[in-house]
Amino acid sequence: MILAAGRGRRLRPLTDELPKSLVEVGGRPLIEWHLQALARAGFEGVVINLSWHGDKIRTRVGDGSGFGIPVSYSEEGEHALDTGGGIGYALPILGSEPFAVINADVFTDYPLELLLRHAPDAAHLILVPNPEHNPGGDFSLVDGRVGTRGSCRHTFAGIGVYHPGLFEHRAHGKYRLIEALAPALDEKRVTGELYDGLWIDVGTPARLEVARRSCT
């Protein structure tokens, strides 16, 4: 699944008339980088959630045939359901087996084929060294287990593999991914890895410029 429903307010005015997943880096929209990488990695299909200017994403991506991977859509309507709610709402399309999720607004060379190795009973998260905009990090990583405590913390990359059980017993609505993850984190059922390659959260004009420079 590619999470692409967000408003992208910090990228205004670019995102006033454009969903942030269609903002270009290296001459291509961010979402196209992900679609091509997922196809190369061997994924069999992709679900994209839609809200803000979702029609423009659907028009650009279509059924995915131009990228070599079938694409389905999860329409959230005018009000996006946030990271957790968006995944939960798409479960009827995603199915009953573990699935990978990537945020549309990250630019990375993480080898997505590695995600196919994981079938967690809760979740497997990709973490990265803390960037300047998130110096305190999000999660600890000890012996391959992800937690919320500890002095050495890393930043969540917006890439992970999830078991649908994390979401299927929650009521539909807007909620963050961490709300679904919290019980499994407390029970030490979330695994993870630290990736030290290219990763940029394209959330502001300054970071968008960094991503664009990385392609030159």
pLDDT tens-place string over residues 67-109: 999 999 999 988 899 999 999 999 999 999 999 999 999 999 9
Q: What is the mean pLDDT of the chain?
A: 93
Verdict on whether the full-model pTM lies above 0.85: yes
Question: For residue 201, which phi and psi values (nearest 5 degrees)?
Answer: -85, 105
Displacement of CA 90 from its chain's centroid (Å): 14
pLDDT at residue 8 above 80?
A: no
Residue 19 three-state SS: coil
Instruction: State the residue for tokens 């990488």.
Output: 37
Determine the residue type at 105: D
Question: For residue 137, which phi and psi values (nearest 5 degrees)?
Answer: 70, -175
CA distance linking residue 39 with residue 50, whole number of Å? 20
Give the model confidence (pLDDT) of 105-120 as tens digits. 999 999 999 999 998 9
pLDDT at residue 216 above 80?
A: no
Query: Where are the domains positioned within the chain?
Result: 2-213
**Which is it for strands 24-25 and 28-29: parallel, antiparallel or unpaired?**
antiparallel
pLDDT at residue 138 above 90?
A: yes
pLDDT at residue 43 above 80?
A: yes
How many angstroms separate the Cα of 16 from the Cα of each of 33, 53, 210? 22, 9, 21
Minimal CA–CA distance to 6: which of 99, 89, 73, 81?
81
CA distance linking residue 117 with residue 174, whole number of Å? 30
Question: Strand locations in 97-138, DSSP E?
Answer: 99-103, 106-108, 123-128
Give the whole-number percent of the chain exceeding pLDDT 90. Answer: 78
Which CATH number does 2-213 carry? 3.90.550.10
Give the model confidence (pLDDT) of 152-180 as tens digits. 899 999 999 999 999 988 878 999 999 99
Determine the residue type at 13: P
Q: Look at residue 16 in the predicted model and tell me its pLDDT.
A: 82
User: What number of H helices and E strands is found in the chain?
Assistant: 6, 13
The shares of helix, strand and coil residues in the chain, as percent rounded to the nearest 5, are 35, 25, 40
